[in-house]
Amino acid sequence: MNLHHRFDGPEDAPVLVLSNSLGTTLDLWEPQLDALTSSFRVLRYDLRGHGASPVPPGPYTVDDLGGDVVELLDRLGLERVSFCGLSIGGVTGMWLGANAAERIDRLVLACTAPRIGTVETWTDRAATVRARGTESLADAVMERWFTPAFAAERPETVARLRAMIAATPDEGYAGCCDALRDFDFREELGRVAPSTLVVSGELDPATPPEDGALLAGCIPDGRLAIIPGVSHLANVARPDEFNDVVLAHLEA
């Protein structure tokens, strides 16, 4: 899988990989770049079926998503990196922390859970997208990603993220829904070896702080940070707070 990717930051700095959420591109991480490139060479990528990456026919699996990252690291000659993933990007991070721990220095799992939603949720969403397209669910997704207060204050940001959802290839989005449908890592968390920061949004309806507490409590070297007053995309809604806790962990 030849993932579309991009580097930012000094070439001699340690590498930090950023993995975006379902229905977004590597542009999700724009609010983090100035802060993170002060210490890291940041590698962003579009997961399979998203952005400028290839769109193979689904279903996909989390093994596929994690294997894509390992393949990208191999192709770029990167033996060991830190990794920060949000939502399905965090799911990918869990897989890497358990199955390719020798490649991961420090790990950040943001706005994610070892089991997101239900089989029925993801089955229905994949079917909807394959039948009616990603545009059909863009408004509902925005309601989960941002609080009403943020949406009222920053309508241009909400519009930009909504457009990102609507532009995601239907099969790529649905294939990742298939991967989340079949993912349950609750019994595997003890195998996540890297030092791990879990970041949760206080008001996140998709992966609430209880999920973050479960992750942090079951990962051997895990700890939890909660960003107050935000929903699912904590990195967009409160970038300064998000950047501060992530950098404190990565630089510890």
How many separate domains does the chain show?
Answer: 1
Cα–Cα distances in Å, from 40 out to 45, 112, 181, 250?
16, 23, 34, 10
pLDDT at 113: 98
CATH number for position 148 = 3.40.50.1820
155-167 vs 138-145: helix axis angle to the nearest 10? 130
| Residue 132 pLDDT grade (very low, low, confident, very high; cuts 50, 70, 90) | very high
**What letter would DSSP give residue 192?**
-
pLDDT of residue 226: 98
The β-bridge partners of 195 are: 106
Q: Give tens-digit pLDDT for 176-205.
A: 999 999 999 999 999 999 999 999 999 999
Q: How far is CA 167 from CA 51, 68, 92, 135, 189, in A?
A: 8, 22, 22, 8, 34
User: Residues 91-127: pLDDT tens digits?
Assistant: 999 999 999 999 999 999 999 999 999 999 999 999 9
pLDDT in tens, 43-74: 999 999 999 999 999 999 999 999 999 999 99
What is the pLDDT, as a whole number, of residue 155? 98
Residue 117 makes CB contacts below 8 A (sequence gap 6+) with 180, 206
Q: How far apart are CA 116 and CA 40, in angstroms?
A: 30
User: How far is residue 84 from each of residues 81, 99, 123, 247, measured CA to CA in Å?
Assistant: 10, 16, 27, 11
H-helix segments, the chain? 30-36, 62-76, 88-99, 119-132, 138-145, 148-153, 155-167, 170-181, 209-218, 234-237, 239-250
Question: Where residue 151 falls among pLDDT bands split at 50, 70, 90?
Answer: very high
Where in the sequence is the domain holding 163, given as residue range(s)? 5-250
Within a 10 A sphere around the Cβ of 210, how many other Cβ atoms?
A: 10
Please tell me the distance from the alpha carbon of residue 20 to that of residue 79, in angstroms, as a whole number: 21
